[in-house]
Structure formats: structure tokens, C-alpha cells
Chains A and B, each alone.
Chain A
């Protein structure tokens, strides 16, 4: 069977059977499953980043009236009356909470203002005009509260995405920076990128020589060493992070050994800080760098190196000019895998990081579980996903396959 013969029937077959519908039938169940339980849920979740439901659901008439208002000056009495009526109605129905929470994300104090006003109206204070509301609380004469309501009227909103970048739309409709104590997300994003970059660099420094050594050994000798890379690869990230917590804690094994050796007098702080995050994350992700690079290095023909040395290149020159460039796709693939996995890491920073080492996944978890601000969780997820998908796409074009 020569190559020239085996190619021809293949191409004939390909033209005779342009489509094989049964192959789609085999893939279809899985695609439908993924569509229903992965693609759609993720898209639905991300859509919360750009939509606003709370006010429109609870105060439909006010939402319509607020959308018609041009946002200049203060609202007219008709708008104030509509808002006041629905505020009172939702307070009495026990559903004011949703609107109050949503407005409070944007302007702190909105929550108490709404409850106070609604309770005063329930006790008999009139709410038929803007002046009535200002009489209940002078804050109603402040345009900030009205603009926040107008922006929350939906259905689309830029609020969550802007807030994720420490920005908001001020009363005049301009994009402005939020106050200093509220501005946290840009810092957390930068920190997430920095930690991921450092971990990717550490993996490159530690992993390149190991992949090189493995690739330079005959398979019979490389296989036992490969197990040393596969053992951590197989062990779950949680178990490995747990091992690091046990080893690095103040009265842990590492501090104990250092003290016994007389190298330190007092225990070092090795965990619940950035050092711990770097150590544990590098450990968790290092096999993801070594394995693809090893695959690339094994595919490199030694003949080019032999040619270089027979032409008089020193080993170092041959390595730098001939070998290293050929391994770059593997380095890029490994580094991108490590970087993108690190970007979204949750368990390891949560367990070995301190308060100042939390990454963006920690904020996403916080807004989902504790603060229940799902719009914020969705916006942060979207802003994490965009650079990540770009990186993965770039990585795919550089190196096509990743070993399982």
C-alpha cells in the first residue's frame, strides 16, 4: 500500500459521499444535551449583565414613565405620582425589597429612602406631587435618585458592566469614576491578570527544562519520570491545595523543618498571602505546561540539531537558533493553557490566599452566594470570559492539539 494509491480511493469516496448524515445523528444527542444544559444556561446567565428586570417587573407603570422622561432637571408631578403609587403598593404587598436592593447597588441610601417614604405614605402622608415627596424627605429634590431610577428602568442596562469597571453614569448622563472606596474591580482584574501571568512564567521556568529532559531520554527511561508529572496531574486540585495548606501553615511541616534546621527562629508566614497563592497555583498548573510541551518536543527531529552541529554551531548556538524556535508553539500552548486556567481559578486562591489575594472568581462567587447581586456576578463573568476566549482562540491558532 503506497501512499499514492491509498490517497486516491479516499478522495473518490469523499466525492461520492459528500455528507454522512448518520454522523450528525450520532453527535446530535450530545449537542442537544450541551445546548440545553450548558450553552443556553451560560448565555442566559451572561444576559443578566446587560438587562435590568427588577424595577420594570415591580413598577411597570413607573418604568414606562421613567423611560419617557428626558432626565433633565427634576421629574414632573405625574411621574412622581406614578412612582409614589407603585412604591406604596409594593411596600404593602411586601415586594418593595427588589427595587430597593437594585437602586441601592447604584446609589447607597436609596433603600432606606424608599422604605421611609413608603411607610410615611402608608401612615397618611400624601404622595401626589414631587413637592409632596420632598416634604416627606428632602432627598427627593436630588436628581441623583431619579436618574438612578431612570437608568434602572431597563430593559437594557450598562450599569453592571460599568460598575465592573468601577464606572457609573452620573446624574448628568456622563460616565464617571465611582468613589474611591467603591472602586475595587479594576484592581481585582489587574491582580487576577498579574497572578495568572506570574504563575504562567513560573510554570515556564520550571517546566521547560523538565519537558526537555523527558524528551531527550529514550521512552523506556522517560516513562517512569513521566509518572512524576502525571501523579500531580491525576490528583485533584483540591487535594493538592489541601496538602499545601497542611505543609505551609504557621505550625506546619515546612516551618517545623526550617526551625529544626535552625534556619529560622519564628515561623514564616507562607500561606494566606501572595506567596502561598503562587506556590500552590504553580504546583496545580505545572503539569498542564509540561505535558503539551513534552508532546511538541518529542515530535522535533534531532536531524536539524545534528546538521547544525556538523556545520560548526556550538551546542548553545544550535539550541538557541535551531531547537528553541521549534519548541515555541509548545511553550505558547502550555503557557496559554496555564494562564487561562489560572484566570478563572477559584478553589486555590479561596483556600491559600489572604483577603488581598482574591481573584475575580472570588468576587463572582461573592455576588452569587452572599450579596445575591446576580447582575454584578454576570457582568464580572462576561468581562472575565472575553479576554479568556480571545487567549484560547489565539492559542488554538498557534498550536492545534492538546493532549488529554
Chain B
């Protein structure tokens, strides 16, 4: 099943695999390289030669700035997830059932925050919030991150609804279930993996977001990416590599889980062979 003709065997195949190995190395090695650097006992950014140490992780733990930044990121991302997930899920259910000529327009509108450069979104919020006094505020950051996270929730939940049999909903309704009951007892359990994946995407969108935060967050809302951005800009220490390692682990675990959930949701499709 694997033959496309060219490079299916022999030297061509060998060259293709060699070339692709280099590209895979380029993709992955820089990310993996921060792990040994973060375990370095010295203050130089070199691979450890004389044993490993958790010194720089300890430094993060002991640093009030890093810990506060972590706490801020956690609360902003959680709030973003809690707003974006229900809004996006409802819209995805609506879109999946919509038979209107307005649908492509609505889809284009919903995906606009993914298309417009983040720096433009950031200054739009900055200009909007500055007169309202929301710059340097928790609420402003959550609203902005929700805007950026919504398209992901809609796309993921919408994809998990493809092929979902809405006759089940109608059947439940015809048996006398109220709409809210249908939603909670019939629809939600069936598309739960999709919703969960959407929620993780929303959380990570906010947790990793740098540009909008740099523009509209004040010193009291300093998030983890802001802390990191300024660390890289000013004085790069091994503590940064420790933070980077933790972030790589966090996003791999969370988004890996989301990907598995998404695939599970995919398998629920009846039209899948």
C-alpha cells in the first residue's frame, strides 16, 4: 500500500529517509536540547559534564516573580477556558445544524481571530481598553484570550460533531425530554471528548499567549510567557531553560491528551470506515 512510485525503493528511498531524518532532527532536537541544559549545575548554558542538578528548578520555585507569573497564567488560562468552552461548544452545535446561506460568512467571522496577526489584535485591545481602564487588568486579558481561543474550540467541537446523529436528540425530545435535559443527558456525553479537547486548546491558547499579554497586562498580571520574553530579552539564565522544559512538558502532555481525545471523537463518527 505504500508505493507512490518515486522513492518507493532503492537509493531514492534511502535519500528520502536520510533527508527527512535531518528535517525531523531540525524539528525536535532544539526543543529537546533545553532539557539537559536545564539540568546543568553551573550558571553557564552548556551541556552538563559534571553531574546533573535540579538547581535551576529550585531557583524557579524560590523566585516570587516566576511563581506569581505561573499563578497569573494559571488563573487567566482557567478563566479563558471556562468562558470559551461553553460559548464555542454552543456555537459549534448551532453551526453543525445550520442550513443557511449565512453559514460560510459566520464561519469566516469565527475564524477571523486566527487570521488577523496577533499584534493587530493586541493593539486593538490596547486602544479599546486604555480609555476604559481595563489595560493592566485581569478582565481585559481574559476577554482578549477568549477571543483568540474561541476559533479553536469551535473547530475542534465542530469536527467532533461531524456525522453525529442528531436523530438521537430528536428522539429524546420526542420522548418528552426538555432541551436542557437533551443537551446534558444525550448530546454532552456523546461529544464529551470533543468538548474536552476544545477546552484544552482554549486553556493552552491562553497559557502560551505572549503578544497580547505584553501589550495589555500590567505588572500585577505578568504572565509566564511575559516573564520568559523579558528574561530572554535581558539576561538569559539557565532558569529560563528550566522554565522552557516545564512548558514543553506541560504543552506536550495537555495537547497530546487533546489529540487523543480528538481522535477518539473522530472514531465515534459513523461515516468513518
Contacts and interface: CB of A to CB of B under 8 A. Distances in A.
16 contacts: A19-B99, A23-B99, A210-B23, A231-B31, A236-B208, A238-B208, A239-B247, A243-B34, A246-B236, A246-B241, A305-B4, A305-B5, A346-B117, A351-B233, A361-B119, A384-B120
Interface string B192-212: 000000000100100010110
Contacts of B232: 241-242, 245, 351
A354 B241 CA distance: 22
B94 A218 contact: no
A258 interface: no
Contacts of A241: 232
A20 B155 contact: no
Contacts of A389: 115
B90 A30 contact: yes
Contacts of A235: 31, 247-248, 251-252
B189 interface: no
Interface in B1-21: 1-8, 12, 16-17, 19-20
A45 B228 contact: no
A39 B112 contact: yes
Contact of A26 (B94, B115, B215, B256): B94
Interface of B: 1-8, 12, 16-17, 19-20, 23-24, 26-28, 30-31, 33-34, 37, 44-47, 87-88, 90-91, 93-95, 97-100, 106, 109-110, 112-113, 115-121, 123-128, 143-144, 146-147, 150, 152, 154-156, 159, 201, 204, 208, 210-211, 215, 225, 228-229, 232-233, 236, 240-241, 244, 247-248, 251-252, 255-256, 259, 262
Given A29-B91, A30-B110, A302-B4, A210 B99 contact: no
B27 A319 contact: no
A266 B26 CA distance: 24
B238 to A, nearest CB: 9
B98 A27 contact: yes
A229 interface: yes
A213 B88 contact: no
A60 interface: no
A308 to B, nearest CB: 7
B90 A388 contact: no
A48 interface: yes
Interface in A201-253: 206-207, 209-210, 212-213, 215-218, 225, 228-232, 234-247, 249, 251-253
Contacts of B8: 216, 315
Given A243-B244, A404-B152, A213 B20 contact: yes
Contact of A238 (B5, B46, B116, B229): B229
B102 to A, nearest CB: 8
Contact of A361 (B6, B115, B117, B156): B117
A296 B1 CA distance: 17
A97 B97 CA distance: 56
Dominant SS among interface residues on chain B: helix
Interface string A37-72: 111011011001000000000000000000000000
Given A42-B121, A345-B117, A377-B123, 19 more contacts: A23-B95, A30-B87, A33-B87, A33-B146, A33-B147, A38-B112, A216-B4, A236-B247, A251-B45, A286-B26, A287-B27, A306-B3, A316-B6, A319-B6, A344-B117, A378-B123, A385-B117, A404-B152, A404-B159
A256 interface: yes
Interface residues of A, number: 96
Given A239-B244, A346-B118, A41 B127 contact: yes
A212 B143 CA distance: 41
A44 B124 contact: yes
A384 B255 CA distance: 31
A26 B86 CA distance: 10
Interface stretch (A76-84, A145-153, A163-171, A363-371): A363-371
Nearest to B97: A23
A229 B259 CA distance: 13
Kindly name the residue among B5, B47, B106, B252 whose own CB sees the greatest number of chain A CB atoms within 10 A. B5
Contacts of B241: 242, 246
